[in-house]
Structures are given as structure tokens and as C-alpha cells.
Amino acid sequence: MMTDESLSGGGRAVKKILNHAERDVTAIYDRHSYDPEKRTALEAWSRRLEQILNPDSQFPIRMPPRAERLARARRYNRDQRTAS
């Protein structure tokens, strides 16, 4: 599972995206919008979702053998339905 750190290089951007309130001294002094960091985190999340939802994409994720067989069977069944 991807963590805050793997998505954004740190958890602050994800906290800002989720609009979590700061409760320490940084809430007063940190007025940076973190827009570039939020964009980077959201783009990483978008790529991850693309890998999950579209296994045929250019960045496939590795699945365990059983999951791969199930995914292959689903693709075969989907192709059979569309060919009919």
C-alpha cells in the first residue's frame, strides 16, 4: 500500500489535500499553499489508480500468480462479451 511518504516525499502535502488542521506552532506560521507538492502527490496517486484500474496500461503492477490468472480470465471474458 502506498503511504503519504511514497506519494509525496512527505506527509504534509497529503495532509493539506485532505485539509487536516495543524494543531502546533506550524498552524500559525506556515502559510505556504503547498500547491506544487499537492500536484505532485495527486499525480502520483493518479498513476497508482491507473495501474490498479487498467492493468494493461504502460505501467503494469505485478500481481501474485493467482490474481494474475483471475485478471487474465476477466479480460478474456470481457473480450468474449464484446466480440459477440
Alpha carbon distances (Å) from 22 to 29, 33, 53: 11, 13, 33
pLDDT by residue, tens only, the chain of 84 residues? 445 445 545 677 788 888 777 787 877 787 788 888 888 888 888 888 887 887 776 655 566 677 778 888 888 888 888 886
Quote the domain boundaries for residue 83. Answer: 60-84
Tally of domains within the chain: 2
pLDDT of residue 61: 59
Q: Could you tell me if 63 and 70 are in contact, meaning their C-beta atoms sit under 8 angstroms apart?
A: no
**Same-domain check for residues 14 and 38:** yes
pTM over 0.75, yes/no: no
**Same-domain check for residues 9 and 42:** yes
Q: Could you tell me if 60 and 53 are in contact, meaning their C-beta atoms sit under 8 angstroms apart?
A: no
pLDDT of residue 59: 57
